[in-house]
Structure 1
Amino acid sequence: MSGCEMSNFEFSFKKIVPFLLVGFVIIFALAAAVGTEDIIEGLSQVDKSTYALAFLVQVGAIVVWLSKWKILTMSISINVRTRRMFPILLSGIFVNTAVPSAKVGGEPLRAYMFSKLGNVSMEKSLATVMADRAVDGIPLIAILFSSLISVILMGNLPLYGLVLLLSATAFMIVVVIAFLYVCLRPSSAMGLSFWLIRRLRRIISKFRPVKYVERRVEEFMGDFGRGARAILGNKRYVSSALGLSTCYWLLAVFRMWLVFFALGYPDISLGAIGLAVTLGLVLHVVPIPGGLGVVESLYVLIFKAAGVSPGIALTAALLDRGISFWFTSLFSGAGITWSSLELSRSES
């Protein structure tokens, strides 16, 4: 990351703090509503060895993600060492986890770092990253659908909760389908890009000739489209990636189940866990790092519908987020630090 980009990132990082405080306020309000005594009692009952195992499962899930991305890069003959790809992947995870998604996206950063540190063209680099996320969409929708039906059949959801979950599910499905469509039909994205260029013609012309920008966009989208189609059209590699993606999501469900098991609630509905894991991603769009406070509120709503007491539901939510948000932020933070240093060395 260049000096200018690094300073911009640090500036963005400073702006995270007020949003973090908002997230803490929401969590404290939740705790007050549920009862801090119940939370303290729940924490005192945690089986530490089982909870520690949940941390290992989270690390295992990230390794599975790395293997999936590696397979997709191999499908178009990109051979970058796995130990170099790992911190690059962690860089993207860090931004997606710790930085509000409304501000910055982890995928563009991962593609940029992979292009620079892996000596890969930006078009191919972005194609592998987008294909990686596109492959995740299929098992994600399958788990989301089956989990939603399971929770609805329990019949414990209040009307506002049902409306919220259905709306969030519909939003996620639309986003996933649109993303898959763009990856498979990059010409649609090119049309949207040209439409935006025409609307911003006056602004663009102050920096670059409009024709030059249109030509560069056409070249980029053409190369990106060929790369994305080459990856997603390779059935052998995509099948392996789909299997690993399914394994990744199941590990995420298993991690949260271990949290409940550590609390002494092994009979928690797997459907409720699957719904919490998948819909929690939707709430990352709020301008709070990792949807802090908002995601926990969703978890409590879902687990309460699954018959779990509010105190245990919030305790489980806090313990799981201790892994999926706080631990993952620290773990992936090491990756973005290493990648940034390597990028600075290569540029200097």
Structure 2
Amino acid sequence: MPEFEFSNRKKSLKKILPFFVIGIAIVFLLAAITGVGEIFRAVSQIDKRIYLLAFIVQVSAITVWLVKWKILTKAAGLEVGTKRMFPILLSGIFVNTAIPSAKVGGEPLRAYMFSKIGEVPMDKSFASVAADRAVDGIPFIFILLVSLPVIVFAWNLPLYAVILLLIISVFVIIGIISFLYVCLRPKPARGLIKWLIRRLRRIISKFRPVKYVERKAESFMKDFGEGAKLIWGSKKHVASALTLSSLYWFLSIFRMWLVFLALGQSVSFGTLGLALALGLILHMVPIPGGLGLVEGVYILIFGAAGIPPGTAFTAAILDRGISFWFTSVFSAGGIAWSGLKLSKSWES
């Protein structure tokens, strides 16, 4: 039996479908609350050429992501062709975009596929993917820190909303910094993993001997640490990756700005940065891509920024048409190609 199975796809789809339906229902409810007439008026104002440009910007952002990851793999001493890496990256994007709790599953899948299809050591593969996401965390923190003061002082928000925004932001920043620390200092992480294994030894013992798991974890973390050290030690590659990560986030915000421009509406980058940040956090909920919830948060944020309800809803739907629907379809080709490659490797 292969290590990774695609045979459970039907079961996964059955689990996802009810949440997907809930997400669609929330979108329709938001449309009803906003008012169909207002939405149609906003839709009639769309500049199709500018909206098409937003699609191009999204593809450009994904391309920038690929170049960034390639730079980090080179820092780890890995040389894998773009024709292999691009579909693998798309596979991770598909899981991150379309599957509930995606931000947990997309990166391990990408690391696994990169190891098998790219024929590289698993520890270096995982180190390159971890470094890729860690680098993204730095500009993300910057976006939050810049957006929050602008929103808090410019908008007349109730105290509870300000406190909630601050609490969410603090937890997100702590999470990102903790992940960065693990990537930069793998040795302390080894101690944490040992502690977790001891805590979960009863559950682990039902599947594998605890000592075996401890040895495997120790070996993996040691090799991962060496790969991470190699990557982070190359300041030139890390600096280039950080620059490209900043460009990726800028393009994501610019895409949203173009959507509003297509509707003839002006909106500040601070507002868009906050919407993007909170939208990504909501991807953690057990609904594909935070469907319905992300749109709802967008509408609240855009509405608080003085955008008319019809325009706010239409902008949210149009942007999600690119970031969620288009990206899901676009990246599905990558996971199909990668799955086919894996199947052939198992057969041989």
Q: Amino acid of the residue matched to residue 283 of structure 2?
A: H
Of residues 78-87 and 174-183 in structure 1, the stretch that sits farther from structure 2 once superposed is 174-183
Matched residue type, 1:318 = I
Q: Deviations 1:246-268 (Å, cap 9, x if unpaired)?
A: 00000001000000000001x21
Does the 8 A contact of 1:183 with 1:228 survive in 2? yes
CA contact (8 A) 1:161 1:301 kept: no
C-alpha spacing 1:268/1:314, structure 2 compared with 1 (3 Å): same
- The 2-side partners of 1:12 and 1:96 are apart by 15
1:31 corresponds to which residue? 31
CA spacing shift, 1:306–1:6, aligned 2, 3 Å: same
Specify the alignment match of 1:321 in structure 2. 320
- Partner of 1:7, secondary structure, is coil
**Corresponding residue number in structure 2 for 1:271:** 270
After TM superposition, the runs of 4+ consecutive aligned structure 1 residues lying more than 4 A away are 1-4
How much identity, in percent, do the aligned residues show? 64
Measured after TM superposition, the shift of residue 4 of structure 1 is 6.4
Further displaced range: 136-145 or 54-63: 136-145
The gaps in structure 1 that reach 5 residues or longer are: none
- Partner Cα separation in structure 2 for residue 12 and residue 323 of structure 1: 24
**Equivalent residue for 2:72?**
72
Matches within 5 A, 1:113-132: 113-132=113-132
Counterpart in the other structure of 1:134: 134
Computed over aligned residues only, the root mean square deviation of the Cα atoms, in angstroms, reads: 1.6
Q: Does 1:231 align with 2:235?
A: no
Stretch deviating more after TM superposition (35-44 or 159-168): 159-168
CA distance in 2 between partners of 1:306 and 1:206 (Å): 54
Alpha-carbon distance between aligned partners in 2 of 1:157 and 1:310, rounded to the nearest angstrom: 17
Aligned length: 347
Distance 1:104 1:2, change over 3 A: farther
8 Å CA contact retained: 2:108, 2:126: yes
Letter in 2 for 1:347: W
Q: Which residue of 1 aligns with 2:290?
A: 291
Deviations 1:127-155 (A, max 9, x none): 00000000001111111111111112212
How far apart are residue 308 of structure 1 and its match? 0.8
1:213/1:341 CA distance change after superposition, 3 Å: same
1:69-117 Cα shifts (integer Å, max 9, x gaps):
0000001210000111000000000000000016951000000000000
State the distance in 2 between where 1:180 and 1:108 align.
17
Give, in whole Å, the separation in 2 of the partners of 1:238 and 1:200.
36
Moved more, 182-191 or 96-105: 96-105
Contact 1:253 1:274 in 2 (8 A): yes
What letter matches 2:144 in structure 1?
L
TM-score normalised by L of structure 2:
0.96
Give the 3-state SS of the residue equivalent to 2:138 in structure 1: helix
Q: Is the 8 A contact 1:154 1:305 kept in 2?
A: no
Give CA-to-partner distance per residue, 1:141-192, whole Å, 9 cap, x none: 1111111111122123233432332232122111111110111122232222
Aligned residue for 1:178? 178
